[in-house]
Chain A
Amino acid sequence: MARSISAAATTLSVALALVSVSGSRAVAQATGPSRAPRANAAESQARSQQPLSERLRRQIQQMRARPEGSRLPSPDSFTVGPRAITPATPTSGPVAIADGSLDVSGRLDGSAYVINGDIVVHSGGLISGDAVSIGGRVLLDGGRVEGERLTLSAPPTEAVRAREGAPPTTWQSIKLVLGWFAVLVIIGLGVLIFAEPNMDGVVEAMEGSFAKAFWVGVLGEIMALPALALLVVGLVLTLLGILLIPFAVVAYAIALAGLLSLGFLAVARLTGSFWSGHDAAATSTPRGANLRALLIGLVLYMGLWMLAAIFTWQPVTGAILRGIALAVSWVAVTVGLGAAMLSRAGTKRLGVRVGGATPARRPAPSDLAWQTPTPVTGVTAARRPAATAVKDAS
């Protein structure tokens, strides 16, 4: 009997304990939102004693230096960690918090500033000034903000800033050069297919007078903008031409870009022809020889940029190589532009080969051809002009 009474008492006490625990949980759940700020307040008391870290201090100073953060109080006014303003603890003056949220369920006479946290204004809560959150949100949960509600996304960290400001990596530079090479090859193929005679004309103009082409190119670069201005002024003076100005400007830009492109590709082809093997040139078609020369030329010019890209990791060497690549490319573009201008985009033949299209550099005859007395292309070897032989052999 006593045992059964004892067992019943134990069961009852366990049941009561369970009821008590669940009841206290229910109460806690029912009053959760209102009790949470109190818990936060207690926690914040402990955490607000933490000193402001150097990182936070610097962040606040940076924000204060900018117009959008100029109203922030000084770093010394900030406390670290969450804070709650309850109906029992009305607060006046600005409240500033870092690395924590502010729960307002009472009255705050003044403004609230939170960095890296939210401002939550619960039912019955009131902020008579502004509510400013940097790196968080201002949330109205039934409360009011009489001033401005301002949310500002967090400033980028120093690591992000450093990454944004950093120059491209070596691999990025290499990819950039490869991309440009691909673009140039594609455009070069287009020119070879659709405008090969024009390219021949530009190449011939370059062969005729390299120096002249260079200086004409320099002049063209200097005069490009003044010429455009003159064109526009001329159109304005004609009144009716005003309508044509937008078209004229676009047409001018396209024409200039076309001349530069054609010129540079011609330079690349000419350069490549000096490097291409005679045997291969002799055995291929003229267009094939031109394509080979063009590709070799582009590889040479872009190779300089590739070299500079490879040394991106080494600032001094990389800069020197970029300077060299820049200088060589500029000379190439300038000569090409000059030759394109002299030859009127390759339509006017100025070179040594007159009459008919001569699409490819003629491959040099083999040595045996000079030794045979048999006439070659109608001229006996003994009478073949020495200059031509030297030129072709080159």
Chain B
Amino acid sequence: MPGARLIPLVLSAAVAWPAAAAQSWRTVESARQLRDSAQHRVHVQYGAGRIDVGATNAPLLYSMTLRYDEATTTPIHRYDADARTLTLGVEDQSSHFRRNMGENSNGEMRLALSRSVPIDLQLELGATKAQLDLGGLSLLGLHLESGASETLLDFSTPNQTRMRALEIDVGAASLEVRNLGNANAASVHVKGGVGSVELDFAGVWSQDMTVDADLALGKLTLHVPRDVGVRVEVQKVLASFEQQGLQKRGDAYYSDNWDRAKYHLRLRAQTTFGGIELDRADD
């Protein structure tokens, strides 16, 4: 479309030549030796770009590689040895950074955390593409907050410790959580704005699980292994619910193996526009 493209052409050619400037990409690598196995609190904040988080077997508390534009962002790698608090990522974005978010989407962060340290992990992500494989870590808690992002959260191997709380809060996003059975969490809270949320409960179950899922606009898909008993309470407005053979008893829907199943999933799902789909996977 020539006319439409002419305006950016004209503006960019006439005005923005000098400002087309200065991106300056740099890479920082930071690691810290593991000193003991005391509990740590890890806070990761990352505004825009791609982020990969995983586990490491090396004798390190963490290892981070960060590619960033030094003109707009500042890397963070703070460690408070007394409080055992670790903060990693990039500094809270300035307005300048937000204006240039598209450019900064070329940024990248790779983080590996120790398997042998109990960690309370807080992830604060912006407009990112995130791949989080937290399998094998010792997570005491996980709080994932994400803006406009595409997030894949996977517990590829069982969490080594019992998780107190797993909280996920996503904005306009696509969220896929795999192997939630491995999370070793009794309670899961998922809150979504607009987008699609897919929760897969495969993995090694070690306890019953209660899930609260609240999605404003979009589709919530649940994949639950057949050997897990399911109880679903649904609150929906202008939304559909595909219950896949569940039977209604009172206010809730129950799977036919509810009474004899070893592990149980209690799900409270709420959505306004969109749909809830329950899929009974063979695992």
Q: Which residues of A contact B (CB under 8 A)?
A: 66-68, 144-153, 155-156, 161, 164-165, 167-168, 173, 176, 180, 183-184, 187-188, 240, 242-243, 256-265, 305, 308, 322-323, 325-326, 329-330, 333, 336-337
Contact = CB atoms under 8 A, between A and B. Distances in A.
Contacts of B5: 180, 183
Interface string B58-88: 0000000000001000110101000000000
Contacts of B38: none
Contact of A167 (B18, B24, B75): B18
Interface stretch (B8-16, B113-121, B124-132): B8-16
Contacts of A337: 3
7 nearest A-B residue pairs (beta carbon): A260-B3, A257-B4, A264-B3, A261-B1, A151-B29, A165-B21, A167-B17
Nearest to A319: B14
Interface string B20-34: 111110111111110
A340 B23 CA distance: 40
Given A323-B14, A333-B7, 14 more contacts: A67-B74, A68-B75, A149-B33, A150-B30, A155-B24, A164-B24, A165-B22, A167-B18, A243-B217, A260-B1, A260-B7, A264-B2, A329-B10, A337-B3
Interface string B194-217: 000000000000000000000001
B97 interface: no
A191 B175 CA distance: 41
A144 B2 contact: no
A326 B7 CA distance: 9
Contacts of B3: 257, 259-265, 333, 336-337
A363 B244 CA distance: 72
Contacts of B249: none
Interface in B116-168: none
B17 A144 contact: no
A172 B32 CA distance: 46
Interface of B: 1-7, 9-10, 13-14, 17-18, 20-24, 26-33, 35, 70, 74-75, 77, 79, 91, 217, 238, 273
A329 B29 contact: no
A72 to B, nearest CB: 14
Contacts of B23: 164
A283 to B, nearest CB: 28
A149 B32 contact: yes
Contacts of B17: 167-168
Contacts of A144: 33
A215 to B, nearest CB: 18
A interface: dominant SS: helix
B236 to A, nearest CB: 15
A155 B70 CA distance: 9
Contacts of A257: 1, 3-4
A184 B28 CA distance: 43
A176 B26 contact: no
Contacts of B6: 180, 184, 260, 264, 329, 333
Given A146-B33, A151-B28, A243-B273, A183 B14 contact: no
B13 A322 contact: yes
B275 to A, nearest CB: 12
| Interface-centre pick from B1, B23, B26 (highest chain A CB count, 10 A) | B1
B35 A146 contact: yes
Contacts of B74: 66-68
Contacts of A242: 217, 273
Contacts of B26: 152-153, 155
Nearest to A312: B17
Nearest to B63: A149
16 contacts: A67-B91, A145-B33, A147-B32, A148-B31, A148-B77, A152-B26, A155-B24, A164-B21, A164-B22, A243-B217, A260-B3, A308-B13, A323-B14, A325-B10, A333-B7, A337-B3
A330 B32 CA distance: 57
Contact of B13 (A147, A176, A262): A176
A14 B57 CA distance: 56
A67 B20 CA distance: 24
A149 B74 CA distance: 18
A150 B29 contact: yes
Contacts of B24: 155-156, 161, 164
Contacts of B21: 164-165
Nearest to B12: A176
B29 A322 contact: no
Nearest to A330: B10
A381 B244 CA distance: 84
Contacts of A149: 29-33
Contact of B14 (A155, A161, A187, A326): A326
B35 A161 contact: no
Contacts of B31: 148-149
A353 B3 CA distance: 26
A240 B18 CA distance: 46
Contact of B10 (A68, A151, A187, A326): A326
A146 B27 CA distance: 22
Contact of B20 (A155, A167, A188, A323): A167
A40 to B, nearest CB: 24
